[in-house]
Structure 1
Amino acid sequence: MKKETEFKATNGYIMLFILVVTITGMMTGLIIFDNPLFLLLGLLIILIIKGFFIVNPNSSKVLVLFGAYKGTVRDNGFFWANPFFSRQKISLRARNFDSERVKVNDKIGNPIMINVILVWQVSDTYKSAFDVDNYEEFVKVQTDAAVRKLAGSYPYDNFDDEQAEFTLRSGMDEVNEALENEITERLAIAGIKVMEARIGYLAYAPEIASSMLKRQQAVAIVAARKKIVEGAVGMVEDALHKLSTDDIIDFDDDKKASMVSNLMVVLCGDKEAVPVVNTGTLNS
């Protein structure tokens, strides 16, 4: 497989000087010698003019002669080369690509919306020019394919797959690294260097977003309630132990059950407790 080769073009200012000399010679010959043969220098002048080209910073020119690749000019400046060369401009600048948000299924089948932000640049002009039809379109299509494959490799979260070590939502560093490796492998054929690839947008698809939000809220409520109950049990245990060790009150099983019930209601309830004054015994 061919790769990029560097082409050293002739300094354009030298050829510009030769062009001026040629034009001067032709005009002098026509005027002084009145010889129409000097008009033939006009063909040479046209060929010299066609050979001039400019390469801007972070740009390049791919040179082809009658279907044969001759090299790439990466140096910046004013140059001259064989006028029969065809010259294709390829930018070497770093470029951003913010893909469209696409709907895909995650590992467990949930529809999600996802897009990727990609920073890339051309590293091999030969591959970009000749190994793919349109390297810019190639970047877009292959990036979209890589995103779809990535989304199908991980669950969105671990609600339905508690054994998942990484998810799209929580394992961003690992997921972005996997995404970058996947895109790098796909774009290597086009001579594209991936500088950065990361997920730019991630959410459930609209048709299930409301249901998933309710599920997340339910999970959060259950987790909060569990924490509250764990704390309340500890507080009740401490209160009973303190009352018992300080000989404030003796508890039989019924009194302990009543005390525990009241404390748990007070500590775990959503509303403020309403005090009730008991003027009799606990058993009355």
Structure 2
Amino acid sequence: MNERPASSLPGIPAALVLIVIVLLTGMGVLSQVTPGGNPAVAGAVVLIPIFAFLAKGFFQVQPNQGQVMQLFGKYAGTERREGLRWTNPFYSRRPVSLRVRNFESSRLKVNDNDGNPIEIAAIVVWQVVDTAEAVFCVDDYENFVQIQSESALRQMAQSYAYDAHDDSKPSLRSHGDEINNHLRQEVEARLTKAGVQVIESRISHLAYAQEIAQAMLQRQQASAIVAARERIVEGAVGMVAMALDQLRAQGVVELDEERKAAMVSNLLVVLCGDRSTQPVVNAGSLYN
């Protein structure tokens, strides 16, 4: 079932016309009253029920709101035009907000792709775009958004590891844009049938579960230390090679293979050590 425009009239002109009709009808009724009757009572008995019934057709449409109308249970259309409107008094109406809304899920405890328990939460920005589907295709579209968003979040979290051991694979912690796009697609696929459009979705909380948080923190620290050492060794080797090349190119000193190995060893100790080195001045010859 898709949304379609409802038939209604502008409220103020309709109110003026209604007043004129009621007055003319009242004057006609009063002219037919017998001389022995009470004109005021007779007019009130006729006019008040008619006016009350026709007045039921007036309703207001606020900005970014739709009024879903039904006629004896049948969908009659949705009115989105703002202001005072008038329609068939037999129509029943239900307001549906078209404003942009936020939903923040609770912190869910799930297992990532590596089987590690994690805590994750997300924020979903959504908006009703089809009032007919939102009202008639699901029982409670607001509750539907909440449940399906959390279901999509669980499904997405199980597809990735919390932290990537290989840079070629995306992870929850390092590939934020890709993860948010995947989450948006998962949520939107579930909410389309409810007439809801997902504007944005993003991770708002991500952490290891408490029972493994300390162990994972130690592993992350160890991985960071290893990665830093790799960069240090890579830079040190380049600096040693550059030093040897410049010594040879400028003819500063000629070193045999044994002396080169000793020099390389000393430079690597100096460059790769985590403590400051103490220089030793050799007062003798190069070989003493």
TM-score relative to the length of structure 2:
0.85
Q: Which string of whole-angstrom CA distances, capped at 9 and with x for unpartnered residues, describes residues 225-252 of structure 1?
A: 1222223233334445555673635546
Compare 96-105 and 272-281 and name the one that shifted more: 272-281
Residue 248 (structure 1) aligns with: 253
1:235 maps to 239
Match of 1:205 in 2: 209
Which residue is equivalent to 2:19?
A: 20
Q: Mean alpha-carbon deviation: is it higher for 167-176 or for 244-253?
A: 244-253
Q: What corresponds to 1:104 in structure 2?
A: 110
Does the 8 A contact of 1:15 with 1:48 survive in 2? no
Separation in 2 of the partners of 1:70 and 1:234? 77
Matching residue within 213, 217, 221 for 1:217 = 221
SS at match of 1:275: coil
- Give the Å deviation of 1:141: 0.6
User: Secondary structure in 2 aligned to 1:166?
Assistant: coil
Aligned-partner Cα distance in 1 for 2:247–2:70? 95
Equivalent in 95, 98, 102 of residue 101 of structure 2: 95
Q: Which amino acid aligns with 1:150?
A: M
Corresponding residue of 2:194: 190
SS in 2 for 1:120: strand
Find the counterpart in structure 1 of residue 180 from structure 2.
Answer: 176
1:247/1:183 Cα in 2 relative to 1: closer, same or farther (>3 Å)? closer
Q: TM-score, normalised by structure 1?
A: 0.86
Tell me: CA distance 1:89–1:238, structure 2 relative to 1, closer, same or farther (3 Å).
Answer: closer
Q: Provide Cα deviations, 1:139-195, integer angstroms capped at 9, x if missing partner.
A: 111000000000011112212xx2753222222222222221211110011111112
Whole-Å separation in 1 of the counterparts to 2:230 and 2:131: 61
- Unpaired stretches in structure 1, ≥5 consecutive residues: none
Q: Which of 96, 120, 136 is the aligned partner of 1:130?
A: 136
Cα 1:244–1:148 change in 2 (3 A) is same
Asked whether the 8 Å contact 2:164–2:174 carries over to 1, the reply is no
- In the alignment, what sits opposite 1:117? 123
Q: What's the C-alpha RMSD, in Å, of the aligned pairs?
A: 2.8
Pick which of 201-210 and 43-52 moved more.
201-210
Which of 153, 160, 167 is equivalent to 1:147?
A: 153
1:105-126 Cα offsets, whole Å, 9 max, x none, are 1111122222222221111111
Q: Is the 8 A contact 1:113 1:202 kept in 2?
A: yes
Structure 2 segments unaligned to the other structure (5+ residues): none
Q: Name 1:7's counterpart in structure 2.
A: 6
Shift of 1:256: 4.3
Aligned to 2:58: 52
Q: Which moved more, 1:113-122 or 1:20-29?
A: 20-29
1:12-66 Cα distance to aligned partner (Å, 9 max, x none):
2233224433258548966995345431222111101222111111111111122
Provide closer, same or farther for how the CA distance between residues 260 and 12 of structure 1 changes in structure 2, counting only shifts above 3 A. Answer: closer
